[in-house]
Structure 1
Amino acid sequence: MSDNLARHFLLREDVTFLNHGSFGACPRPVFAAYQGWQLELEQEPVEFLGRRLHDLLRVPRESLAAELGCDANDIVGVPNATNGLNIVAQSLDLKPGDQILTTDHEYSALEKTWAYVCRKTGAEIVVVKVPMPLVSEAAFTQTIIDGMTERTKVLFLSHITSPTALLFPIENAIAEARRRGIWSVIDGAHTPGHIKLDLDAIGADFYAGNCHKWMMTPKGSAFLHTRREMQGLLNPLVISHGWTKDSKAPGAKGSFGNSPYIDEIEIRGTRDPAPWLTVPAAIAFRKENDWWAIAEHCHSLAQDTARRLGELTGLAPLSSPEFCAPQMVAMPIPECDTLVVHTTLFEKYGIEIPVFKWQDTCIARLSVQGYNSRPQMDRLIDALTELLELKQAPLAAQG
């Protein structure tokens, strides 16, 4: 299967690419659509950007909303999930003593975002430790609830965590936050195209996700989803033609006929909109190739590789299978110089995979996409066995 699918991608043949989770990889047909939009823009920039763009931007919103279980008027295009979450974090009315409740598994860029917000507002960050290994939704939810106080104003959680590749069961924690009047802000950078999403059912106040990771659009396309009653709380990071001075008035319209929420965030000066306009092409590519079935195969390959490495290292996994991201797994490895291992894997073995230390655990974070294969997993296991001086089981014993 991998050889057939690999031909759709532009990845270098001399690199075993096992890091789809960081930046994704764009299939050739989607990349061609991307270049087509760029060419169309260059042929008549004034017409494209000045007269057509606000109508063109509606198409990916509608396409993506149908895919993610939400209304197109509640979703807006942004360059990346970090950008979308910054809009939220820097808009919320926080005061000295207010608390932002989060976990010890969050993405470092967003940890810095909330630290910046706290420096400006006097709010405080409260970090709870998720019980590890993660094997129970009830234990996870209770840990989050136990961290809530009368001062908690924001609940900030990843849906799929970046360092530990865990799929957090966030729904009940979000529901409790709603009951207590706490804003729920969800980092869904890794979720679109990775798991099936129903944003309305999840019910988060604010949810940002990347399309350029597992949905496989070109780099620079993501979304921010905001519950309708929360949209008036947000302010754009960039003030441009989409902004109007009466945008907070009841029933106000944006400068281009959409809601102020959409026009203020999407219309932000001259930029290349091609990545966002390619969202429908990416969704079509996935449907044409039955990508959810491919994802099931990738999930099996990822879990099998993690099991094989675990048998060699003797180290326990970070979670039970249901709480592991389907196509991404953080595999504990023995204590080592992670930078050296990461660099050597690439320079000596041609393997691109993140290796880092999270808290006290050394991790190799494996991503498996449709272009990956079992021989590539074998190559990774062999390389780590040699680098980490693991004891390789005989081939007969490996089955």
Structure 2
Amino acid sequence: MLSILPRRGANVSDNLANHFLLGDDVVFLNHGSFGACPRPVFKAYQDFQLELERQPVAFLARELTERMRMPRVALAAEVGTSPDNVVGVTNATFGLNIVAQSLDLKEGDEILTTDHEYASLEKTWAYVARRTGAKIVVVDIPIPLLEESQFTDTIIGAMTDRTKVLFLSHITSPTALYFPIERAVAEARKRGIYSVIDGAHTLGHVPLDMEALGADFYASNCHKWLMAPKGSAFLYARPELQHLLNPLVIGHGWTAESKQPGAKGTFGNSPFIDENEVMGTRDPAPMLAVADAIAFRREHDWDSVARQCQQLAHETAARVQKLTGLTPLSAPQFSAPQMVAMPVPHIAEPPKFQQELMDRYRIEIPVLNWKSHSIVRVSAQGYNSKPQMDLLVEALKEMLDL
């Protein structure tokens, strides 16, 4: 067993690794769970907090509405839509709850989804189904996923005249698959089915264009692959459907006239923005720092960094696959670029195995059982290096007796 931790960033750029606050005592291969915020972005976040504390009334009562426009404008440019169609929320789960708890569902309506969804959103829809009497229909996506038609035909084939909602992950959490959702979303629109997309892992990870995609509602985190501070995410809603949404918290942004055509919110934006942005005292600094995260990525040519990380992640998965002999969950084009779910021989207790990887090798990485598969999910970000991946491969070889 190696006793000296590999240096971070050795094969991408030591300089990039030095931009992050991650401790040198951990090999962090789990960017996909919560991300990691670069030092300059974290400083911008703290500067906003300090400014708030120096004059909280001016910051929150007089200036915040205009300040919050800056991250909306920056985000809208990143995701191909108007700033009026996105609103800042604390995380993707919160944004998707706004949608799920707003749609007018009733007994007999169907919510169509897959067997790859994130657990907290499965619970969200279970709650909605219990409250409304709607039925959740879960389809199994064929594994390994080798062709777009396997996914799309499965989804469209399960649509019925009772289907009211299509809920899909764009990049899945447990299996790290990059679903080709475009044709399914288009078919849902054609049939009058609301398309609700969990894009928690997409922003900063894969190209996004809301207008081209055509989804009705879409939420993504800024704190993961965009590398903004924790507590930053966005919810997108098509303009003609924004009136359907109700805020989870009724606060100063709510107005009784919000459902009328052309209504304005309390603070001059649309009700969609004002009702969901103004909900009582909270720390707006994570959202305000989103523009700094976008600027950091541009300054460091993060598209080029991401290509190197994609190569590193997929090369590592290929090495593990060669050791295990197990079939990958998908063809490469249907795996997330910088995050790969690697099948390994059966692990009886994933939490114990995950902790042992930390205790013995100082490797932080998710380990889980999904259906009949045991999975180790590796992420590669600009601070990671090939020596770190070498350590992971050797650790799995030892612990799984490969």
TM (norm. structure 1) is: 0.97
| 1:356 counterpart = 2:368 | yes
Mapping 1:360-371, distance limit 5 Å = 360-371=372-383
CA shift digits 1:234-253 (9 cap, x unpaired): 00000000000111111110
1:77 partner letter: G
1:363 partner letter: I
1:42 positional shift: 0.2
Paired-residue identity, %: 67
Match of 1:180 among 179, 191, 210: 191
| Separation of aligned partners in 2, 1:65 and 1:364 | 34
1:347 positional shift: 1.2
1:347 partner letter: D
What secondary structure is seen at the aligned counterpart in 1 of 2:66? helix
CA shift digits 1:170-213 (9 cap, x unpaired): 00000000000000000000000000111111110000000000
| 1:340 counterpart = 2:364 | no
1:351 partner letter: I
Runs of 5+ consecutive residues of structure 1 not aligned to the other structure: 391-399
Mapping 1:245-324, distance limit 5 Å = 245-324=256-335
| Separation of aligned partners in 2, 1:349 and 1:39 | 38
| Separation of aligned partners in 1, 2:324 and 2:261 | 60
Mapping 1:19-98, distance limit 5 Å = 19-98=30-109
Cα RMSD over matched residues? 0.5
2:36 partner letter: A
What number of residue pairs does the alignment pair up?
Answer: 390
| Separation of aligned partners in 2, 1:196 and 1:7 | 26
2:391 partner letter: R
The answer for the alignment partner of 2:253 in structure 1 is 242
The answer for the alignment partner of 1:382 in structure 2 is 394
| Separation of aligned partners in 1, 2:166 and 2:79 | 22
The answer for the alignment partner of 1:393 in structure 2 is none
The answer for the alignment partner of 2:122 in structure 1 is 111
| Separation of aligned partners in 2, 1:87 and 1:309 | 40
Match of 2:180 among 169, 173, 176: 169
| Separation of aligned partners in 2, 1:168 and 1:79 | 24
Detail structure 1 runs of 4+ shifted over 4 Å in the superposition: none
1:106 partner letter: E
What secondary structure is seen at the aligned counterpart in 2 of 1:134? coil
| Separation of aligned partners in 2, 1:349 and 1:379 | 8
1:62 partner letter: V
1:179 partner letter: K
| Separation of aligned partners in 1, 2:140 and 2:13 | 38
The answer for the alignment partner of 2:19 in structure 1 is 8
Match of 2:241 among 230, 240, 244: 230
| 1:124 counterpart = 2:135 | yes
2:175 partner letter: T
CA shift digits 1:317-363 (9 cap, x unpaired): 00000000000000001012322210100111100000010011000
2:319 partner letter: R
1:178 partner letter: R
The answer for the alignment partner of 2:4 in structure 1 is none
| Separation of aligned partners in 1, 2:106 and 2:121 | 19
| Separation of aligned partners in 1, 2:261 and 2:174 | 42
Runs of 5+ consecutive residues of structure 2 not aligned to the other structure: 1-11
| Separation of aligned partners in 1, 2:115 and 2:224 | 23
| Separation of aligned partners in 1, 2:106 and 2:78 | 37
What secondary structure is seen at the aligned counterpart in 2 of 1:372? coil
| Separation of aligned partners in 2, 1:97 and 1:63 | 41
| Separation of aligned partners in 2, 1:145 and 1:2 | 44
1:2 positional shift: 3.6
What secondary structure is seen at the aligned counterpart in 1 of 2:377? strand
What secondary structure is seen at the aligned counterpart in 1 of 2:131? helix
CA shift digits 1:213-252 (9 cap, x unpaired): 0000000000000000110000000000000011111111
The answer for the alignment partner of 2:341 in structure 1 is 330
What secondary structure is seen at the aligned counterpart in 2 of 1:149? coil
